[in-house]
Amino acid sequence: MLKRIVIIIGMGVWMLRGGWDYRIVSPLAGTLGTIRIDKREKGKHYRIDVEVQSRGLAALLTGDRREHYRSEGVVLRGVLKSRHLTLERQTKKKRQIDTYRIETVHKKVFRHRIRWKKGHMDENSTTTLPYYSEEDLLTLYFNVLPKIMNPKSGTHWEILTVGAEKIKGKVLIDRLTGKAADKARKDLKVGPDFSVILLYSPQKIAGKRNRRFTAALDRKGFPVRIRFVAIPVVGEILIERVQK
């Protein structure tokens, strides 16, 4: 079990509620990267940090790509409500920071983007998203997936997500049952006790439509293994949780 660690930051005390480590692997290309997820809370506020680092062939092809995501907001009745989201992506030649501000009074989401290419600023712009949501790419992990464990909650969800503009914000999730679930468990090489889901979008992901992520969830509803097929060069990708 993960221990709660008290971390002093500024004038506040943040409690580390959980840390999750994943590795990204390809049967053809080996280890492609690592993912670290940390969730902290202070009173009624939360903060989630995600660090993504490319490795091996992926680092070579992407110019040592690394990413840092941060979601900050409030906890209301056990549900995380996003107020700020920052997505930072960086390679040897490019750097981009997207900062989202969720304005709850007028139900609007503003995105400020700064981008550099070869050390020179290429873009500095502010836009309003065409949709509103208090769910973002990081809160989705903690808010939605655990609910899927309850059979009474249904088998299909459509969720508007801040930070997912390339797919018009809409993330679709299906909880698999019957033979479809059995096949997915076999593909993911997990036992019958794991729930399995599909995450997908009708929009293009990585250049093509109808790409799907198949994920196996533990008893708390958190992914232990995710499978993504049809990636150029490296073929199938597996995201596996590392036990520590």
Burial state string for 18-39 with b = 16 or more CB within 10 A and e = fewer than 16: eebebebbbeebeebbbbebbb
Give 114-122 contacts, CB < 8 A, sequence gap 24+.
Answer: 117/93, 118/93, 118/94
Is the pLDDT confidence value at 143 over 60? yes
Q: E-strand spans in 77-202?
A: 79-90, 94-103, 108-117, 120-128, 156-160, 170-175, 195-200
- The pLDDT of residue 4 is 42
Per the structure, the count of domains in the chain is: 1
Looking at the DSSP bridge assignments, the partners of residue 75 are 80
Distances (CA, A) of 62 to 70, 92, 126, 209, 231: 22, 9, 27, 22, 14
User: pLDDT for 119-130, tens place per residue?
Assistant: 899 999 999 999
Helix/strand/coil (H, E, C) string of 173-216? EEECCHHHHHHHHHHHCCCCCCEEEEEECCCEECCEECCEEEEE
Question: Can you tell me the distance from the alpha carbon of 18 to that of 48, in angstroms, rounded to the nearest whole number?
Answer: 10
Bridge partners of 113, per DSSP, are: 98, 125
> Residue 2: which pLDDT band, with cuts at 50, 70 and 90?
very low
d(CA 15, CA 230) in angstroms, rounded, equals 39
Q: How confident is the model at residue 231 (pLDDT cuts 50, 70, 90)?
A: low
Mean pLDDT over each residue of the chain, to the nearest integer: 85
CA distance 90 to 66: 5
Q: Could you read off the pLDDT of 49-93 as tens digits, one per residue?
A: 999 988 877 777 777 789 999 999 999 998 999 999 999 999 989
Predicted local confidence at residue 67, as pLDDT: 94
Which range marks the domain in which residue 107 is found?
5-242
Most confident segment among 2-11, 21-30, 78-87, 167-176: 78-87
What is the mean pLDDT of the segment spanning 221-243? 80
pTM for this entry: 0.85
**Nearest to 111, CA basis, from 93, 96, 94:** 96
